[in-house]
């Protein structure tokens, strides 16, 4: 049963709070992931501020874990046992991304240039070794740096793989919910004939928002939301 109001892509009034937050978190993951991919694609070899992209990558991991937590709560309440979701890889990536993201809030990290003016960034395990710009200028060891686009692409694909594994696990375990009476009761909450007087817009990003994607998420009725 869709979560949407009749004739609308928006959620109907009075739906179960856990289902609504699940849809919100899942679509937020889609937005953050799309934004980071777009920025990586536009970066080229001369990206001087990679930390800005890590803000979105970190937000992806943080919001994905919230989605997992909310779905797990629904599952446990309906099936009366905890699901088995392995977030170990996501936890590892979150900590790695946190290192780069935190630098943005403190100062702009120094970026080296190779002989072709390509941007090089510190490897994740070397960030704490170079606290000052002069450390990067005068004391840098080449092996401590990696091409910015290479690191970003590796991290993006690692994140995509971690998300894929989590969503797959959720989908497989959702078979236990398809005919669960409590699940169906909670999913069916809310009015279906709601006339929306206010047109809403996605405040997270007006460049990647897709009514079709929102519609897919809100119409999901068989466990976890759709896989982006």
* Tens digits of residue pLDDT in 76-114: 999 999 999 999 999 999 998 988 887 766 666 667 777
pLDDT for the residue numbered 118: 77
Q: What is the mean pLDDT of the chain?
A: 79
Q: Are 53 and 39 in contact (CB under 8 A)?
A: yes
* Model confidence at 219: pLDDT above 80: no
* Model confidence at 46: pLDDT above 80: no
Sheet holding 112-113, edge to edge: 112-113, 119-122, 145-147
Count CA atoms within 13 Å of residue 118 on its CB side.
12
* Model confidence at 182: pLDDT above 50: yes
* Model confidence at 49: pLDDT above 80: no
* Tens digits of residue pLDDT in 141-166: 989 988 888 888 999 999 999 999 99
* Model confidence at 228: pLDDT above 60: no
Most confident stretch, 3-7, 82-86, 191-195: 82-86
pLDDT for the residue numbered 160: 94
20 vs 127, residue with greater confidence: 20
pLDDT for the residue numbered 189: 85
Is 0.85 surpassed by the pTM of this model? no
Give dist(CA 211, CA 11) in Å, integer: 12
**3-state SS assignment for residue 119:** strand
pLDDT for the residue numbered 77: 94
User: For residue 42, what are the CA distances in angstroms to 11, 45, 50, 100?
Assistant: 34, 9, 12, 19
* Model confidence at 218: pLDDT above 50: no
110 vs 34, residue with greater confidence: 34
């Amino acid at each position: 049963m869709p979560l949407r109001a009749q004739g609308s892509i928006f959620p109907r009034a009075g739906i179960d709070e856990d289902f609504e937050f699940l849809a919100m978190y899942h679509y937020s993951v889609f937005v953050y992931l799309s934004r980071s991919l777009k920025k990586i694609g536009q970066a080229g070899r001369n990206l001087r501020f990679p930390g800005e992209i890590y803000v979105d990558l970190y937000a992806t991991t943080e919001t994905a874990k919230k989605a997992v937590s909310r779905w797990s709560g629904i599952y446990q309440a309906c099936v009366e046992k905890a699901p088995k979701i392995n977030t170990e890889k996501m936890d590892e990536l979150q900590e790695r991304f946190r290192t780069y993201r935190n630098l943005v809030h403190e100062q702009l990290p120094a970026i080296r240039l190779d002989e072709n003016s390509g941007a090089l960034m510190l490897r994740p395990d070397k960030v704490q070794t170079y606290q000052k710009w002069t450390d990067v200028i005068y004391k840098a060891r080449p092996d401590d740096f990696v091409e910015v686009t290479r690191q970003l692409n590796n991290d993006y694909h690692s994140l995509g793989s971690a998300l894929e594994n989590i969503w797959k696990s959720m989908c497989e375990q959702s078979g236990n919910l398809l005919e669960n009476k409590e699940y169906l009761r909670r999913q069916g909450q809310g009015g279906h004939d709601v006339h929306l007087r206010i047109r809403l817009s996605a405040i997270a990003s007006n460049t990647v928002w897709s009514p079709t994607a929102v519609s897919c998420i809100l119409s999901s009725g068989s466990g976890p939301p759709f896989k982006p």
